[in-house]
Chain A
Amino acid sequence: MGRLVLRRLSATVPVLFLVTAGVFLLLHLTPGDPIDVMMAESVDATVKETLRRELGLDRPIHVQYAAWMGRLLQGDLGRSIRNGEPVIENVSRRLRPSLELAFFAMTISLLVAFPVGIVSAIRRNTAIDRAGATFALFGICMPNFLLALLLIFFFGVTLRWLPISGYTDPLEEPWNGVRSLALPAITLGLALAAVVTRTLRSSLLEALTEDYVRTARAKGLSEWRVIWGHVLKNALIPVVTVLGLQLGTLIGGAVITEYVFALPGVGRLVVDAVFARDYPLVQGVVLLIAVGFIVSNLVVDVLYGWIDPRIRSR
């Protein structure tokens, strides 16, 4: 197990290096002068010149990179141009809503996917199975923002059951907080639920053909006991893989969901930074998201080895 973790970590280092280089170069991809793009023409030339010097844009590119990397290694991700605060502070303030959204969305998706996936596999090729398959197709093809607007239309505008935007922290006001996160979490959770349902159904069907299932049935176990005690555990591995693969899509979905529901999360911060042309903030947040994404993938890989001992030795 330790070797698996070590091997994964060592493979991550060069990738992390390239990721930082990519994020650094992002600023230099702008057609024209990044300072002119970031600031309106009316801004005083001396202000622009100060910013240029502050960002080090007046120096050769390798010197800039070395300086940027040096600060990065000390944990300094730079400052936002708009509010002058360190990127880290901007992000940490936005972290809680995003994590809460992710938690609720994940909970909803598993609560939906497990019953639907299991029933679809047991009642294969029945009307229930087909309904499940239709739901999965719907969830996969439905764009996030469109689902969000549908939910807003039905539950917010027509029925007026739930708030359609804004954020209340569930840790401070549990009831209103959960209500404020309900529609965003459903939006984000359903797409994930669709993918998990599909995967769970097919991996259950595959596991159901194994010899040990026949043995379990032969010794007289009820179908539910067979599923619970034997099949489900073995069918979980592909589900974990798919959850890992879906992480990127989930983060992208969170960006859109936070944007639509005006949740003050990290995703919303990216969009705001992009449109405010606050490039140091864009760089910082994108880098942090990428690192978070890499670390979560690492966790999934290790989890995978923990569930399936055969993978550890490979």
Chain B
Amino acid sequence: MLRRAARARLAPFGAAVVVLASLVALAAPLVAPYDPLAQDLGATLAPPGRGHLLGTDNVGRDVLSRVIWGTRVSLLAGLVSVVLAVFAGSALGLVAGYCGGRVDGVVMRVMDAVLSFPPLVLALALGAVLGAGLTGVLLALGVVYTPTFARLMRGQVLSIAARDYVDAARALGAPAWRIAARHVVPNAINPIIVQASLSVAFAILAEASLSFLGLGIQPPQASWGSMINAGRGYLQQAPWIVFGPGAALFVTVVALNFVGDAVRDALDPRTRE
């Protein structure tokens, strides 16, 4: 009871943060007080204060403005990589579940193989060969998350395809693609949505981890992970370089978790008490 009540209070908070972050990301050029790339060598490592709300970094760039521009990268990365994985995974799961037999075996073994790599290590290796850029990281994360959705979709397809209304549609002579589009997918979509909403937070964390390690969007462009890595050397003199983007990342991930939990509670009958 208490947990549900707490969640009911936390979900709107999470949603508010997510909406705010999305607005900030969309309106980055308008809300950022400074140019995120503009260096001011007269004001390096300035502490948070009136001129610079979150201080400046080692070459005098405004930390707040860079955090604001970094919001774009993080949200984009979380969203795009999960959307890629949802489409690729659902399509593969649909084909595997629907065709069965050999096709099913091959597709699912490939998915098992992808799952045999620790996610971050796979993303790191893929990101490395695809080239250090945002596209490489998005593709790498998309690949990493694909098997989850493929497995979910396949399981759904298998259980739905055995139901009477699918038999009825088949008996009426509906072609396979029509059955898939009209009957299977709409009934299978809920768990996919739940998983997708929970995955966005993980994808944002993963993008931040990779850009912390040096993959992803390249400096001087701002992303939270790379800002934190760059600020590492100034932890003693200027901890705000790390803690500004760090706080943004942490709050965003917590908020997305609340939203994901709320989506699950709303769509998954098993978690309802």
Contacts and interface: CB of A to CB of B under 8 A. Distances in A.
B158 to A, nearest CB: 18
Contact of A18 (B1, B109, B212, B242): B109
B193 interface: no
A275 B124 CA distance: 10
A88 to B, nearest CB: 18
B139 to A, nearest CB: 10
B259 to A, nearest CB: 12
A31 B130 CA distance: 7
Given A22-B113, A29-B129, A125-B2, A149 B209 contact: no
A157 interface: yes
A212 interface: no
Interface string B119-147: 11110111111110000000000000000
A149 B212 CA distance: 12
B118 A149 contact: no
Contacts of A153: 235, 239, 242
Interface string A148-164: 01101100010000000
A261 B215 CA distance: 19
A75 to B, nearest CB: 20
Contacts of B127: 274
Most chain A CB inside 10 Å of its own CB: which residue of B209, B250, B253 = B209
Given A15-B113, A19-B113, A256-B209, A289 B118 contact: yes
B253 A19 contact: no
A141 B254 contact: yes
Nearest to A34: B129
Contacts of A275: 128, 214
A204 to B, nearest CB: 15
Contacts of B60: none
Contact of B208 (A130, A143, A260): A143
Nearest to B10: A137
Contact of B125 (A146, A150, A274): A274
Interface residues of B, number: 46
Interface in A255-279: 255-256, 259-260, 270-271, 274-275, 277, 279
A19 B130 contact: no
A286 interface: yes
Contacts of B124: 255, 270-271, 274
Contact of B118 (A29, A143, A150, A252): A252
Contacts of B128: 274-275, 277, 282
B233 to A, nearest CB: 11
Nearest to B136: A31
B257 A141 contact: yes
B202 to A, nearest CB: 9
A15 B112 contact: yes
A26 interface: yes
Interface string A163-206: 00000000000000000000000000000000000000000000
Contacts of B215: 274
Q: Which 8 pairs show the lowest CB-CB distances between chains A and B?
A: A252-B120, A18-B113, A251-B118, A248-B118, A274-B128, A141-B253, A29-B129, A146-B246
17 contacts: A15-B113, A18-B109, A18-B113, A19-B113, A31-B131, A137-B254, A140-B257, A141-B201, A141-B253, A145-B228, A146-B249, A150-B246, A157-B236, A255-B121, A274-B128, A277-B128, A286-B122
Given A255-B124, A279-B129, 16 more contacts: A15-B112, A19-B117, A27-B129, A137-B254, A140-B257, A141-B257, A142-B250, A145-B209, A146-B250, A248-B118, A253-B120, A255-B213, A260-B232, A289-B117, A290-B116, A293-B116
